[in-house]
Amino acid sequence: MPQPNFASYHVRKWFTQVEETLANETGALADGEPVRKIVVAAAVHNPYAGRFSENLDDIVTDSPKLGEEFGRRIAEAAGGQAIESYGKACLVGTGGEYEHGNAFLTAVFADPVRESVGGGKSWVPSTGKRGAPGTTVDVPLAHKDALYVRSHYDTVTVSFTDTPGPDEVVVIFAVATRGRLHARLGGIKADEIQGQDGLH
């Protein structure tokens, strides 16, 4: 077991990825501000790699502290820019179970991130899979206050050249500053959100 260096976890690497889209795929310039997507990820040792355990508390217990650090890093990368959508994902090394990745992504991890982006009434869309270093994963994005805002259904694709190792989990959180450029499929608009139930 590697020595803990962040709460009870051993974090081998932190990653921050920022992309800014100025025009859509046909070259039409942004209808307003560009879309800025920010991804923060951490390669974390999986204490359950190679063995089955009914109890996953070694992952879950300190995940709120991990969430606070994710939130801090996201806010720093955003530089004061408002966040409108979010999503989370995991990449589990081949020595672990997909369930181990999900143990990092529970609500107690996500809630501090919500706070860092100004709150969020909707649930955080999530995905994940097992794989080797270089495996890609599409992180789903949706509006942080109303899931029925179609313009904010989006993804951001990430991969990491040297992780996850067999005994690692890459924990990933992504945010965006607006919906898709030139979204035109109807539905509730972001400025029409009622903010009551996380859906409308």
Task: Report the 10 Å Cβ neighbour count for 138.
Answer: 15
Asked whether residue 197 carries a pLDDT value surpassing 90, the answer given is: no
Cα Rg of the chain (Å, integer):
17
**What class, spelled out in words, does domain 11-192 have in CATH?**
alpha beta
Spatial distance between the Cα atoms of 10 and 3, rounded to a whole number of angstroms: 6
Please report, for the chain, the start and end positions of each structural domain, with discontinuous segments joined by +.
11-192
Q: What confidence tens digit (pLDDT) does each residue in 90-146 have?
A: 999 999 999 999 999 999 999 999 999 999 989 999 999 999 999 999 999 999 999
pLDDT confidence bin for 81, thresholds 50/70/90: very high
Spatial distance between the Cα atoms of 171 and 25, rounded to a whole number of angstroms: 29
Spatial distance between the Cα atoms of 73 and 28, rounded to a whole number of angstroms: 32
Whole-prediction pTM value? 0.96
Mean pLDDT of 70-94: 97
> In the Cβ-directed half-sphere of 94, how many Cα atoms lie within 13 Å?
6
Instruction: Provide the pLDDT for residue 183.
Output: 96
Structure-block tokens of residue 106: 């529970």
Spatial distance between the Cα atoms of 58 and 10, rounded to a whole number of angstroms: 12
Q: What confidence tens digit (pLDDT) does each residue in 135-194 have?
A: 999 999 999 999 999 999 999 999 999 999 999 999 999 999 999 999 999 888 888 888
Structure-block tokens of residue 186: 């109807």
Spatial distance between the Cα atoms of 128 and 110, rounded to a whole number of angstroms: 15
Burial class (CB in 10 A: 0-12, 13-18, 19+), 173: buried
